[in-house]
């Protein structure tokens, strides 16, 4: 009877902790995307790319992408913490004799996606660190190179973001499915 009590109460707590951490990562991961998606789109007119106004726009976009990079780094660190906590909880449940195969598979998939997100994030960090077309202070020195830097960085940041969101979403679904499957321990 004690095993049933552990299964219901402990795994409700485990799943709740994982879900709270996952929700936190997801909500923070999606903050910068809408602003950047609209702002990096092609300019409406070639006139917007000429003179100081065009340079100022590119410089602001570089600042935004660097800000996105920092925010995303924090979210990737949170995802790594979720994976560590999840593995600890799975190991404890496994030691109690509870079948956690589905959860372990979901966590392994989560880790693979987070690794891919980290690679894409590192690519973006490299592009932004090289800041071709910008000087050390973020001022435009070559407009064409600056635009390419922004596009390349944005694509890598977006790829990392999408991997992160997909990983969190998949893990959340796996936890829900596992919980619904294991609600009745006599099955």
Contacts of 76 by beta carbon, 8 Å cutoff, 6+ apart: 114, 117, 118, 121, 160, 164
Dump pLDDT digits (tens) for 133-148.
999 999 999 999 999 9
What was the pLDDT predicted at 75? 95
3-state secondary structure of 134: strand
More confident residue, 98 or 9: 98
Distance CA 139, CA 104 (A): 48
Look over the chain and give the mean of its residue pLDDT values, rounded to a whole number. Answer: 79
Name the β-bridge partners of 140: 134
Distance CA 134, CA 141 (A): 5
The segment with the largest mean pLDDT, out of 20-29, 89-98, 140-149, 176-185, is 140-149
Please state the φ and ψ torsions of residue 134, each to the nearest 5 degrees. Answer: -125, 150
What was the pLDDT predicted at 46? 43
Q: How confident is the model at residue 84 (pLDDT cuts 50, 70, 90)?
A: very high
Task: Sketch the domain layout of the chain as residue ranges.
Answer: 2-181
Dump pLDDT digits (tens) for 158-175.
999 999 999 999 999 998
What was the pLDDT predicted at 51? 59
Distance CA 147, CA 125 (A): 16
More confident residue, 141 or 28: 141
Structure token digits, residue 166: 């997909």
Looking at the chain, the whole-number percentage of residues with pLDDT higher than 90 is: 55
What was the pLDDT predicted at 18? 54
Looking at the chain, the whole-number percentage of residues with pLDDT higher than 70 is: 70
More confident residue, 73 or 7: 73
Candidate from 47-51, 78-82, 105-109, 153-157 with smallest mean pLDDT: 47-51
Distance CA 139, CA 133 (A): 8
């Amino acid at each position: 009877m004690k095993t049933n009590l552990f299964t219901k109460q402990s795994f409700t707590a485990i799943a709740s902790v994982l879900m709270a951490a996952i929700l936190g990562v997801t909500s923070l991961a999606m903050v910068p995307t809408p602003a950047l998606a609209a702002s990096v789109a092609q300019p409406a007119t070639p006139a917007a790319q000429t003179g100081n106004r065009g340079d100022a726009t590119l410089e602001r976009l570089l600042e935004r992408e660097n800000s996105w990079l920092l925010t995303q780094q924090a979210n990737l660190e949170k995802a790594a913490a979720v994976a560590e906590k999840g593995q600890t909880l799975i190991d404890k449940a496994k030691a109690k004799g509870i079948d956690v195969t589905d959860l372990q598979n979901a966590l392994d998939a989560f880790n693979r996606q987070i690794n891919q997100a980290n690679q894409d994030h590192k690519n973006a960090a490299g592009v932004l660190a090289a800041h071709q077309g910008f000087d050390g202070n973020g001022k435009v020195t070559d407009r064409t190179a600056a635009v390419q830097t922004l596009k390349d960085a944005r694509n890598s940041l977006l790829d990392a973001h999408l991997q992160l969101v997909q990983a969190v979403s998949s893990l959340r679904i796996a936890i829900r499915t596992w919980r619904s499957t294991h609600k009745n321990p006599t099955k």
